[in-house]
Amino acid sequence: MKASYRAIIGREFVDSDEKIEVKNPYNDSHLTYVTMAGEDLFITALEKARTAQREFIKMSLPERSAVLLRASEEIDRNREHLARIITLESGKPIKDARAEVERAAIVFRIAYSLCEEERGEFLSLEKNPVSRRHFGIVRRFPLGVGIGITPFNFPLNLVAHKVAPALASGNAIIIKPASKTPVSALLLADILNSAQLMDGMLSVLPSKSEVVERVITRSDSLKFLTFTGSASVGWHLKSLVPKKKVLLELGGNAGLIIDRDVDIEYAVKRSVYGAFAYSGQICISVQRIFVHREVFDRFLDAFVLAAEGLKAGDPLSENVDIGPVIDRQSVERIMTIIDEAKKGGAKVLTGGEVMENNIIKPTVLTDIKPDMRVYAEEVFGPVVTIERIDSINEGIERINSSIYGLQAGIFTNNIKNAFMAYEGIEAGGVVVNNIPTFRS
């Protein structure tokens, strides 16, 4: 990692007097300094993006899509370097960081393929007698210039989620990465520039939240906002720009049902991964598990044993499963939630302790009450609750008792129960025979 990184507007590196220090979450050691952009740099980036976007959409689809394919190939070529940067600035275990890099490359390949799809649709208007021998054309057009705000937990892939679709659909975008993990986004901008992306179509501007808020509320040239992060921040941002296109991907406390007829070994293996991957710092991490009474004890014993078998330590080590949470403030917040549950009568079956280097032991709780924060809120840490249920309907009701509805899942060999969960759970997605954390 370099001693310092500047912000990027198109192909130009830009600087300011304000810098932010990036630290390694594992040991709080200094990594680098990164330029923090003020409102003036955002205005410059917006003006440059508007000009570039008007020219970009004049390019042929093969020319535009080729940039995305080259970017995907360049990500693949730099896999190990990118993975190491992700691990250093986010604390993600290196094996998971490599998977993130691979996923980011796939995102750009998918965006490339979308450029090749048919973009128009013909509609007959002949149902109305006055419109006989008439037809309509439906076609999507780019919005223009947008801002993407990304979180710390997937500092490369969630930036790719914003950038690749925007470029594929002809939009320019300015990325405001998480202040804890800005380097991965800056490296992605480098990659796209080396892939010959038109100057101005992508800028990466680390900055303070209040700066971005001023920009999105004052700029008429900004046409859309895409945000991934906490629900409170997301809805607040949406309220600031009611007349702009807004795309939010917010938090969750994903529920998972374990039916009585499942392969316990497989369900436990996947559930443990879903609960504790990246120390639970994933918006679709498994947080609440509801197990049919007939297999509850078997599942619980096996789950606790598997959780205790996870190796915690330096995330750069190849055999480490559990690394640090992002900072000391997060450690304190998560432990407060665990302690409140314990005081309320919850049982800690394993974990519930802080190790050195911002690592929290994988924690399993039971005897949970619905009003406990560990049940009602998004913990965003290596904590899971496991409760017994008497029926699939009860599991569905328990999942739906949350204010969140991002993702859920069910393990079952009963097709009727699978569809019951699919139709009854109030969530954006229901994964059958895999964890809510699963992504195709």
Residue 106 main-chain phi, psi, to 5 deg: -65, -40
Best CA proximity match to 255, nearest among 95, 159, 386: 386
The full set of domain ranges for the chain reads: 4-249, 254-432
In CATH, what number does 4-249 get?
3.40.605.10
330 and 109 Cβ atoms separated by less than 8 Å: no
At the fourth CATH level, which superfamily is domain 254-432?
A: Aldehyde Dehydrogenase; Chain A, domain 2 (3.40.309.10)
Q: Rounded distance, CA 317 to CA 324, Å?
A: 13
Distances (CA, A) of 235 to 225, 232, 248, 252: 12, 6, 8, 14
Best CA proximity match to 22, nearest among 183, 147, 157, 174: 183
Q: Rounded distance, CA 166 to CA 156, Å?
A: 15
pTM: 0.94
Residues tagged active-site: 249, 283
Indicate the pairing of strand 363-366 with strand 347-350: antiparallel
Distances (CA, A) of 241 to 65, 244, 248, 430: 31, 6, 13, 31
Sequence-distant (≥ 6) Cβ neighbours of residue 110 within 8 angstroms: 164
Q: List, in sequence order, every beta strand (DSSP E) within 130-190.
A: 135-139, 145-149, 172-176
* pLDDT digit string (tens) for the chain, length 440 residues: 899 999 999 999 999 999 999 999 999 999 999 999 999 999 999 999 999 999 999 998 899 999 999 999 999 999 999 999 999 999 999 999 999 999 999 999 999 998 877 677 888 898 888 888 898 998 889 999 999 999 999 999 999 999 999 999 999 999 999 999 999 999 999 999 999 999 999 999 999 999 999 999 999 999 999 999 999 999 999 999 999 999 999 999 999 999 999 999 999 999 999 999 999 999 999 999 999 999 999 999 999 999 999 999 999 999 999 999 999 999 999 999 999 999 999 999 999 999 999 999 999 999 999 999 999 999 999 999 999 999 999 999 999 999 999 999 999 999 999 999 999 999 999 999 999 999 87
89 and 97 Cβ atoms separated by less than 8 Å: no
175 and 205 Cβ atoms separated by less than 8 Å: yes
